[in-house]
Structure 1
Amino acid sequence: MDKLDVTLERMRTFVRVAERGSLSAVARELGIGQSTVTRQLRELEDAVGVPLLSRTTRRVTLTDEGSRYYADSIQILRLVEQAGDEARGTRNAAAGTIRVSCTAAFGVLHMSRLIFAFQDKYPEIGVDLSLTDERIDLVREGVDIALRLGPLSDSSMKLRPLGESRRLLVAAPAYLAARGIPALVRDLSSHEGIRMSNVAGSDTLTFEGPDGRSHSVPFSGSFRIDHGLGAREALAAGRGIAPAHRWLVDDLLANGQLVQLLPDYRLPSVPLSLLIVPERAGIARVRLLVDFLAEQVGGIPGIERARS
């Protein structure tokens, strides 16, 4: 078969199958039939003359030749995309799609609005926004950038610190009227706590006091949840006390549905960062969104912008 049959479409399909390890997953992602994915892979292997993938009933893996071809394909596709960016740059237009992953509650309350503003500024750029609190494999899921709260350990990604997210101890007036207002940190041990089940160490609260000393207290309750929006609803319903990101409850504090407790004691802030897939960092539309988010995030309540 003529080597001209090595098309970019087939190469892109091969790269996604190599990253996801599943033909059906890639078919769903690309919006095509699995038979089409299979045909494109077979045609590519016929064109290059060697098997690139090893197929089992459960998973698709790369052959040795496939691993080398995958690495070369990534570079080729990146160059093709950057060439398109440079060509479009002559008319100052960025186009294409960016896939973004974001912490769920932050995405619903704030990230969506920022993306709307970004697309108003760059109407030819599409954004696929995935909301999850799971630490997904960005390359495997085809994500370009991810916004994450908390410490990060994935050293293979480019890291862009955005700032620190301030947290407050809050409760509803109705709950406090029934159970009393804690005056000291140690009083919290006798209160009903709303805990995040997916946050390590949520059974203890640690504060920095006005004297600069650290104060810790056990924190428990009958309701645990794994989603920030669910914790917000529980707080508003008067189910207990909880530490909450300012951006999560700022409107509820402003309208009196929640009040801050122990204001002289400070909870540790949480890092807010962007993770960027290195192979995608040089693409113009990705750079535009990263810079836009870094500029705009300081306007979100409770976010202390990172110093340049």
Structure 2
Amino acid sequence: MRDLFVGIVPFVYAARDKSFRRAAERLGITPAAVSKAVKVLEEELGVQLLNRTTRRVSLSREGELFLARCEEAIAQVRAGRELIEMYQRDPSGELTVSLPHILGRLLVARMPRFLARYPAMRVHLRFTDRVSRLIDEGVDVALRIGELDDSSLVSRRLMRTRWATVAAPAYLARRGTPARARELTQHDCLRFRSPRGVDVGWSFSGPDAEAKLELSPRMTFDQGDLLLEAAAVGLGVCQVLDYMVADYVTAGRLVEILREEAAPGPAVHALCLPGQRGSPRIRAFFDFLVDELAPDPE
């Protein structure tokens, strides 16, 4: 079957030009090579496709039928190439993005600009707090926070984060503003509980960085948005990543405290499968994320 496909193009050129010599010139090979390729093709099919004389080449009846099908196939291949070339120029189709819930607001707020820039793109956002297996789950791009476990994936760091400790103005007016992290032991603390059922610890830098603060949570939450809402209505102090609370602080609903003791947070990365980074859809999304999330210089 391999020889069958190898001989099709020389056959089509020879049939169109009615000459092995002209077909050879167009293909950049010798007339003997064209003649041999056609002969092998005829042997594969078990019929004579071209009638040969010393002066001219003509199609047999079987050759006419076969040529029509070959030209249809070549036209389909050409159309496929043109489609791929157009696809390379203009990203289109569906892109599946996996990301944790706490990155949801950050990304969704920026999606109108991406969709306006690439009107032929469709995006499916798949929210999950577990690590997605890209190849098994049909994921094109994954956004992840923290250390990367799978070194086989192509990754790009998008931004750094830091831990922000916040409380509502009304709460601070009622309970006072702690001047040091260790004073949080006297406050109502709101904690995030991971999908594994473990309360996420708080992190600080400075003198209290190594201190074992016994922060007994007044309430725990497994949804970051609701944790922030609880803090905003004055239920207590919480610690989240800085980008999560930026809008609350700007609106005056929350106040950041202990800024001088804020600890660095985990980095945010975008990942894709090796070999997919050059895909127009994925390349466009990676570039968009880099533009929007202001990456650190590499």
TM-score range relative to shorter protein: 0.5 to 0.7
Q: In 1, are the aligned partners of 2:90 and 2:280 still within 8 Å (CA)? A: no
Of residues 96, 106, 129 in structure 1, which corresponds to 2:93? 96
Aligned to 1:226: 222
**How far apart are the structure 1 equivalents of 2:291 and 2:238?**
30
Aligned to 1:280: 276
Change (3 A) 1:111 1:206: closer
Of residues 230, 239, 247 in structure 2, which corresponds to 1:243? 239
Aligned to 2:116: 120
RMSD (Å), alpha carbons:
2.6
Aligned to 2:253: 257
Q: In 1, are the aligned partners of 2:132 and 2:142 still within 8 Å (CA)? A: no
TM-score for both structures, normalised by structure 1: 0.64
Residue 179 (structure 1) aligned with residue 175 (structure 2)? yes
Aligned to 1:148: 144
Alignment of 1:147-226 (within 5 A): 147-198=143-194, 202=199, 204-209=201-206, 214-226=210-222
CA offsets 1:2-49 (integer angstroms, 9 cap, x no match) = x9xxxxxxxxxxxxxxxxxxxxxxxxxxxxxxxxxxxxxxxxxxxxxx
Q: In 1, are the aligned partners of 2:203 and 2:209 still within 8 Å (CA)? A: no
- Larger Rg: 1 or 2? 2
Change (3 A) 1:113 1:186: closer
**How far apart are the structure 1 equivalents of 2:214 and 2:208?**
20
Classify the secondary structure of the residue corresponding to 2:243. helix
Q: In 2, are the aligned partners of 1:102 and 1:129 still within 8 Å (CA)? A: yes
Residue 307 (structure 1) aligned with residue 294 (structure 2)? no
**How far apart are the structure 2 equivalents of 1:120 and 1:198?**
35
Q: In 2, are the aligned partners of 1:203 and 1:218 still within 8 Å (CA)? A: no
Identity %: 31
Q: In 2, are the aligned partners of 1:207 and 1:215 still within 8 Å (CA)? A: no
Q: In 2, are the aligned partners of 1:192 and 1:222 still within 8 Å (CA)? A: yes
Classify the secondary structure of the residue corresponding to 1:110. helix
Between Structure 1 and Structure 2, how many residues are aligned?
Answer: 219
CA offsets 1:106-161 (integer angstroms, 9 cap, x no match) = 22x22123222111111111111112222222222211001111222122321111
Classify the secondary structure of the residue corresponding to 2:110. helix
CA offsets 1:76-132 (integer angstroms, 9 cap, x no match) = xxxxxx967741157x3221111111221322x221232221111111111111122
Q: In 2, are the aligned partners of 1:205 and 1:218 still within 8 Å (CA)? A: no
Change (3 A) 1:96 1:185: same
State the AA in 1 paired with 2:265.
S
Gaps of 5+ in 1: 4-81, 299-304
Change (3 A) 1:236 1:213: closer
Q: In 2, are the aligned partners of 1:208 and 1:215 still within 8 Å (CA)? A: no
Q: In 1, are the aligned partners of 2:230 and 2:236 still within 8 Å (CA)? A: yes
TM-score for both structures, normalised by structure 2: 0.66
Classify the secondary structure of the residue corresponding to 2:213. strand
**How far apart are the structure 2 equivalents of 1:215 and 1:199?**
26
**How far apart are the structure 2 equivalents of 1:155 and 1:165?**
22
Q: In 2, are the aligned partners of 1:103 and 1:132 still within 8 Å (CA)? A: yes
Aligned to 2:267: 271
Q: In 2, are the aligned partners of 1:104 and 1:132 still within 8 Å (CA)? A: yes
CA offsets 1:217-255 (integer angstroms, 9 cap, x no match) = 232213111221111111112111111222211121122
Q: In 2, are the aligned partners of 1:85 and 1:284 still within 8 Å (CA)? A: no
**How far apart are the structure 1 equivalents of 2:142 and 2:87?**
25
Alignment of 1:31-46 (within 5 A): none
Q: In 1, are the aligned partners of 2:106 and 2:244 still within 8 Å (CA)? A: no
